Structures are given as structure tokens and as C-alpha cells.
Structure 1
Amino acid sequence: MIIYIISDAVGETAQRIVQATLLQYPQLKPVIRTYSFVTTEAELTPIMQDAAAEQAVVAITFVAPELAAAAQKFTTAHDLPLIDYMSPLMQVLTAQTNMAPLAQPGMLHTINTDYFKKVAALDFAVAHDDGQGLQTLAKADLVILGVSRTSKTPVSLYLAEQRLKVANIPLLPNNPLDPAVYQLPKEKLVGLIISPQRLQKVRQTRMTALGLSADNYYTDVAAIEKELAYATEIFAQLQITPIDTTERSVEETAALIMDR
């Protein structure tokens, strides 16, 4: 048996369905020929002629109705079996909704590509969280800098959902900033700042959630002010204007970064 898979895109949809169906026939080992990006009748005709010569089963995924109709006409004339994976459902949906299909080939492939970009961005954010992965920092679309608890991680993950590869690095007065950061274009750098009082409350809440004392050096206002002063110095050195997160949600901060 020979199966022709013909599509105006990659043919991924038909390939998956055919392979899934063949699992039900383990003894069957057909020859499968795939023809991708067939977008005109002139391209379709010689393929159909070859299918007729080989008495093949023809499976199509055309979003263009004229190509589906041409395939149907040819297979009927030459007594070839045809499986049209797209047209019947599209016709039903159009009849039920009075909405015309987009007729844009390759949309599943586009969706899959976008999905993998999102996964890659999320993986990057996790691998470059809190100062990790400095050896591949140059691959980041953005690098977020700020003292502890200024929403660096949640903002990084939110931006990763927008397909951006984001790293975040904590600023610690007794920890010199890695030289790799100074090599980055300042357009990639984002600084986050917050009021000392707001940061103290955030840190106290964090300590309580961990079952630790809410009163320590980490939550001391004087110590926090020193941290923020150090961060401000770093931002000046890098020539970037920080974003104040005191009254902003993660979504608002991320939107402002995207606008910039």
C-alpha cells in the first residue's frame, strides 16, 4: 500500500492522524509519501498523476477550497480513495456559524513554534534566576537587576510568557556585580527599585511565611536603605533609569518594561 499525504503547509496534521491510524494495523507497513507546501493546482496535478499511477490512497489537508475540490475531482475521475481531513469540518463550522475560515495554511505549525518559543523562554528564566547562568547571560533579551524581593523573579517569568528570554540578578552591597553585566548593551538592562518601607513589609511577610523572625538584619530599614543606595549607584554606573515597583503589580511592571 502507498499513501500520499499532500498539504499546503507542512502536512503535520495528516502525518499525525495517519500514523495514529496505522498503529491500529501493526501488520501494515505502507509506503508514505509526503508533499508539503503544495499551494497551486499546477503543483498538485503532477502529484495526483503519480498517485494515480501508483494507485495510492490520498490524504489531504488543504485550507484552500479550490485545491480540495481539485483533489476531489481528480480522485473521483481516477477511482482513487481520498481522505480529506480539513474540508468536511470546515464546511460544518461555516454552516453552523456563518463564519468564513481564515484559509491560512500552516497555522498548526505556527502555533507549535510559538509554544516552543514560550517553553524555551520559561526554561531560560528558570536557569537564569537569581544570578544563575552568568556564562550565557549574553543570550538574554533582558536582564533584570534589583535588591532582594523587588519582584525580579515573577516579572522575569511573566515576561517569559511573552516569549522573552529574561535573566535576573540580585544586587548585594558586599557582592560585586559580575563583569559580564557591564558588557551588555544598556537597552537589555532593567533596574527595579522600591521604597524602603514597602520593601520592609514585603520582607517581613516573607520571613513570617518561612516561620522565621520578622525582625532581623534582612528586614531592618537602615540596612534596606543601604541596599537601595547601592542599587541606585549600580543603575547610575550602567546608565539605566530604574522602575519603581512600590505601587506596581507584576503585570504593571512587566507592561512598563515592554513599553520601554
Structure 2
Amino acid sequence: MIIYIISDAVGETAQQVVQATLLQYPQLKPVVRTYPFVTTVAELAPIMQDAVAEKAVVATTFVAAKLAAWATNFAQQNELQLIDYMSPLLQVITEQTGTAPLERPGMLHTINADYFKKVAALDFAVAHDDGQGLQSLAKADLVILGVSRTSKTPVSLYLADQRLKVANIPLLPDNPLVAAVYQLPKEKLVGLTISPQRLQKVRQTRMTAMGLTADNYYTDVTAIEKELAYATEIFAKLQITPIDTTERSVEETAALIMQR
């Protein structure tokens, strides 16, 4: 079996649908040929002729009505199996709303200012993870503080996906907090805390996953209580109310931060 994927853009939409469909037929090993950026009938015609010669199934995602209509007519005249993934829905939306489509291919991957803002935020979060990049801390929209394994990194990355530049810094009793943090507006500071018992379980799971013994100073509940007490002192000095992550998911914690 041979499948042609033809598009006036990248063709990713049709590729995903075709691949999802083929998963239902694990015994089949079809040949899939992709033809992106086909924008004229002159480019489309020889591809369709090859499809007839190979008795291929054709999947298209044309936003240009002219190309979609030409492909459909050609397929009917040549008894070629063609699945048009775009035109039917475009037609329904146009009929329902009276609004004509832009017919501009590749809009799914349009690179705009929002895209660059998201990438910049993710880059910032990675560069300022776990106490890194302290020299540019003032550029952060938010700085998350907490002891190890209180979800600082995943929350930072989740917020970065919301276009916020987030740094996170671990709180360690034997490692004084850098002076730069005290100079930041408290509105930029977020503290994360957790119950000692829950943190012990999280750390034990982490140790086991790393192939290390789950019982050590890092997972000792007495040591953990001292770490959390130290974090509480820091939060008081910074005049911030910490968020308890004991029963909260990363998404819930991030939503609460956004709400504040």
C-alpha cells in the first residue's frame, strides 16, 4: 500500500492523522510519501499522475480552494482514492458563519512575537534553574524559593510556558541565601513548602530511582524538619507567605501563583 500526503504547507496535519490511523493496522507497513509546499496546479499535476500510476491513496490538506477542487476533480476522473482533510470543515465553517477563510498555508507554524516570548521564558527558566544565573536575577518575573524536591523546577517550567521568566533557588541551611534576593520586590518572590512526611516520601522515591539507598541524611525526617524550619525563617525575613505543595499538583501550584 502506498499513501501520498500532499499539502500547500508542511503537511504535518495530514501526517499526524495518517499515522494515528495506521496505528490501528499494526500488520500493515505502507509506504508514505509526503509532498509539502505544493502551491500550484503545475506542481500538483505530476504528483497526482504518479499517484494514479502507483494506485496510491492520497491525503491532502490544501487551504487553497483552487488546489483542493482540482485535486478532487482529478481523483474522480482517474478513480483515485482521495481524502481531503481540510475542505469539508472549511466549507461548513464558511456556510455557518458567512466568513471566508484566509487560504493562507502554514499558519499553524507561524512564528510570531508570542512564540519568541515563550522560547525566551523557557530559556530563562533553564538558565536560572536550581540557583544558576544569579547575576541576572533581577530580570526574572518571579523567583521561586524552597528546599529540595518542593517542585520548584516543574513549577518554573510550567510558568515559563505561560511566558513568565522564572528563576528558582534552593534553600539550604548551610548555604546562606544570596543578598540579591533580599533586594528584589517581595511581589516577585514565591516560597514553596511541604509537609515533612510527604517530602520524605518524595525524596525516598527519588533516591530509589537513582539506584541509591533510600535511607540517608537527605531522607531523614529530622533533617528535613530542620530544612523546612530554615525555609520558614527565610520566608519570614522576606515577608512572603509560602504555598504548601503537599496536596497540590504542579498545575494547581502554578495556578495559585498566577492568581496571586
**Same fold per TM (> 0.5)?**
yes
In the alignment, structure 2 segments of 5+ residues that lack a partner are 1-8, 10-36, 40-62, 69-85
The residue type paired with residue 133 of structure 2 is: G
The residue type paired with residue 123 of structure 1 is: D
Task: Give the superposed CA RMSD.
Answer: 3.1
- Residue 16 of structure 1 corresponds to none
Contact 2:90/2:101 (<8 A) preserved: no
> What whole-Å deviation, never above 9, does each CA across 1:80-127 have from its counterpart, x for those lacking one?
xxxxx97979998664322344999xxx69862111111111000000
The residue type paired with residue 153 of structure 1 is: T
The residue type paired with residue 147 of structure 2 is: V
The residue type paired with residue 198 of structure 1 is: R
The partner residue of 2:92 within 96, 120, 129 is: 96
- Aligned mates of 1:218, 1:164 — CA distance in 2: 31
- Aligned mates of 1:250, 1:244 — CA distance in 2: 11
The residue type paired with residue 97 of structure 2 is: M
The residue type paired with residue 253 of structure 1 is: T
- Residues 1:86 and 1:155: Cα distance change in structure 2 (over 3 Å): same
Contact 1:147/1:171 (<8 A) preserved: yes
- Aligned mates of 1:93, 1:248 — CA distance in 2: 40
- Residue 207 of structure 2 corresponds to 207
- Residue 222 of structure 1 corresponds to 222
Q: TM-score, normalised by structure 1?
A: 0.62
Instruction: Give the share of equivalent positions with the same residue, in percent.
Output: 81
> What whole-Å deviation, never above 9, does each CA across 1:16-37 have from its counterpart, x for those lacking one?
xxx998xxxxxxxxxxxxxxxx
Contact 2:142/2:165 (<8 A) preserved: yes
- Residue 127 of structure 1 corresponds to 127
In the alignment, structure 1 segments of 5+ residues that lack a partner are 1-12, 14-18, 22-84
> What whole-Å deviation, never above 9, does each CA across 1:22-71 have from its counterpart, x for those lacking one?
xxxxxxxxxxxxxxxxxxxxxxxxxxxxxxxxxxxxxxxxxxxxxxxxxx
- Aligned mates of 2:231, 2:99 — CA distance in 1: 53
- Residues 1:231 and 1:102: Cα distance change in structure 2 (over 3 Å): farther
Corresponding residue pairs, total: 182
Contact 1:93/1:99 (<8 A) preserved: no
Deviation at 1:155, TM superposition (A): 0.3
- Residues 1:96 and 1:133: Cα distance change in structure 2 (over 3 Å): same
- Residue 113 of structure 1 corresponds to 113
- Residues 1:197 and 1:135: Cα distance change in structure 2 (over 3 Å): same
Q: TM-score, normalised by structure 2?
A: 0.62
- Residue 237 of structure 1 corresponds to 237
